[in-house]
């Protein structure tokens, strides 16, 4: 378990002070995949470096399983860091060493036995699917393969925690997916707590259990991924969620006065949000039956997050003003959130 208690970090330059992280309180549970999302400059990279004290917090405590890392002596801290693996956006492999030597690097430094190192490295390379690349140099690998080597290296000393600093940001979507799958595997098989820093909402959506949204050095929203996606509160969270779906396109269409959203008298555009599990009823058909409303779908979006379906539809309906409230109430009883986007 990782606890950040009232953690602040500021950087002093000659002329001014930058407060990168401000009074952050977080508890990351054992064995979960925890995401931290924010735009660049939000302080998320600094925050993750506060966990292994690559950046020493100006204020606050960093507790890992109850041990306050800020109180450890340099030497003990270095020894403790074996228990916290870390991977980076730029992979940071040692270019003069082969894949095998890279993974063996932290073990060799700890003076482990040669036979033990060999066994461990080979099993790690098998785990990340790179057994055949043991003697290759990093320059001969693709980005995805490099990150796999970095993951193997980070796991070499059998850490309890794996910190991922924008680990997929330099990779293409396909490779990102396979790396995320690997991380999920690692989390499940080895029970390692994973902390992921990213600016991409789809990374969070793909593998995280819980997420903290950061803005201006503070955590502005925190929760499990499904509820963050279904009921975002902070403006910035909504922006991030919009970035993964095409739903925000409706605003553009309205702004551009597109023909599709050119409404006649009595017509409206609604946005319907529904949880998959709660909406097995044929809502559209019932609208037609009960209210003689025939919504036409402009477009929709479905997210599957931790086996929960989150759907949204943008529909065009023709309904009388008096009846509209009644219909909306009916839908909301069926756990469908209705938002009127545009009136005629």
Partner 1 sequence: MHSLMANYTPNLLDYWPEFINSIGETLQMLFFSGIYSYIIGLFLGVLLVVTREGNILENKYIYRALDIFVNIFRSIPFVILITALIPITKFVMGTFIGVKGAIFPLIMGCIPFFIRQVDMALSTVDSGLIEAAQAMGLSPLGIIFRVYLRESIPALARSITITTVSLLGLTAMGGAVGGGGLGSFVIRYGHNRFYQDITYVSVVVILLFVTIIQFIGNIVIKKTSH
Q: How many CA atoms lie within 13 A of 197 on its CB side?
A: 24
Contact between 287 and 279 (Cβ < 8 Å)? no
Q: Name the residue nearer to partner 1 (CB basis): 162 or 226.
A: 162
Helix (H) or strand (E) holding 234: none
Contact between 63 and 3 (Cβ < 8 Å)? yes
- Least distance (Å) between residue 215 CB and partner 1: 25
Q: Name the residue nearer to partner 1 (CB basis): 147 or 237.
A: 147
- Least distance (Å) between residue 142 CB and partner 1: 16
- Least distance (Å) between residue 105 CB and partner 1: 7
- Edge-first strand order for the sheet with 67-68 is 17-28, 2-12, 59-64, 67-68
* Contacts to partner 1 by CB under 8 A: 52, 54, 75, 77-82, 84-86, 88, 90, 92, 94-97, 105-106, 109, 137-139, 153, 157, 163
- Least distance (Å) between residue 75 CB and partner 1: 8
Q: Name the residue nearer to partner 1 (CB basis): 84 or 261.
A: 84
Helix (H) or strand (E) holding 246: none
Q: Torsion angle, CA of 90/96/101/105, rounded to 10 degrees? A: -70
Between CA 90 and CA 193, with CA 187 as vertex, the angle to 5 degrees is: 80
The rounded distance, in Å, linking the Cα atoms of 153 and 186 is 13
Q: Name the residue nearer to partner 1 (CB basis): 13 or 115.
A: 13
- Tokens 């992921």 correspond to 196
Which residues on neighbouring strands pair with residue 299, listed in sequence order?
314
- Least distance (Å) between residue 144 CB and partner 1: 18
Contact between 47 and 21 (Cβ < 8 Å)? yes
Q: Name the residue nearer to partner 1 (CB basis): 26 or 103.
A: 103
Q: Name the residue nearer to partner 1 (CB basis): 150 or 319.
A: 150
The rounded distance, in Å, linking the Cα atoms of 189 and 237 is 31
- Token digits for 153? 């290296």
Which 8-state DSSP code applies to residue 237? H
Q: Name the residue nearer to partner 1 (CB basis): 101 or 267.
A: 101
Q: What is the DSSP string of 150-185?
A: HHHHHHTT--SEEEEESTTTTS-HHHHHHHHHHHHH
The rounded distance, in Å, linking the Cα atoms of 63 and 211 is 19
- Least distance (Å) between residue 153 CB and partner 1: 8
Q: Torsion angle, CA of 229/232/238/242, rounded to 10 degrees? A: 20
Q: Name the residue nearer to partner 1 (CB basis): 39 or 109.
A: 109
- Least distance (Å) between residue 54 CB and partner 1: 6
Q: Name the residue nearer to partner 1 (CB basis): 81 or 271.
A: 81
- Least distance (Å) between residue 236 CB and partner 1: 28
- Token digits for 222? 């925190």
- Least distance (Å) between residue 13 CB and partner 1: 11
């Amino acid at each position: 378990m990782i606890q950040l208690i009232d953690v602040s970090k500021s950087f002093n330059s000659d002329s001014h002070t930058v407060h990168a992280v401000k009074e952050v309180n977080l508890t990351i549970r054992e064995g979960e995949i925890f995401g931290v999302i924010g735009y660049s400059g939000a302080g998320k990279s600094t925050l993750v470096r506060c966990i292994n004290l690559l950046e020493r917090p100006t204020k606050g405590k960093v507790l890992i399983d109850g041990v306050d890392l800020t109180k450890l002596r340099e030497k003990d801290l270095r020894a403790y860091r074996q228990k916290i693996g870390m991977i980076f956006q730029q992979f940071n492999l040692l270019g003069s060493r082969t894949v095998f030597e890279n993974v063996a690097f932290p073990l060799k430094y700890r003076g482990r036995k040669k036979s033990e190192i060999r066994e461990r490295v080979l099993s790690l390379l098998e785990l990340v699917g790179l057994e055949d690349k043991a003697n290759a140099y990093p320059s001969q690998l693709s980005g995805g393969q490099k990150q796999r080597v970095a993951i193997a290296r980070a796991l070499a000393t059998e850490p309890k925690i794996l910190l991922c600093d924008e680990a997929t940001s330099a990779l293409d979507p396909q490779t990102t997916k396979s790396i995320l799958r690997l991380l999920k595997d690692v989390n499940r098989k080895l029970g390692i707590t994973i902390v992921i820093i990213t600016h991409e909402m789809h990374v969070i959506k793909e593998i995280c259990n819980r997420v903290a949204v950061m803005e201006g050095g503070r955590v502005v929203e925190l929760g499990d991924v499904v509820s963050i996606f279904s009921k975002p509160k902070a403006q910035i969270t909504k922006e991030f969620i919009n970035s993964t779906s095409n739903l925000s396109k409706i605003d553009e269409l309205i702004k551009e006065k597109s023909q599709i959203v050119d409404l006649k008298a009595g017509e409206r555009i609604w946005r319907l949000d529904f949880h998959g599990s709660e909406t097995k009823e044929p809502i559209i058909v019932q609208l037609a039956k009960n209210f003689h409303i025939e919504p036409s779908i402009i477009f929709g979006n479905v997210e599957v997050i931790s086996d929960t379906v989150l759907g949204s539809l943008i529909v065009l309906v023709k309904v009388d003003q008096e009846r509209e409230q009644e219909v909306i109430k009916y839908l909301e009883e069926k756990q469908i959130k209705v938002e009127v986007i545009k009136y005629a």
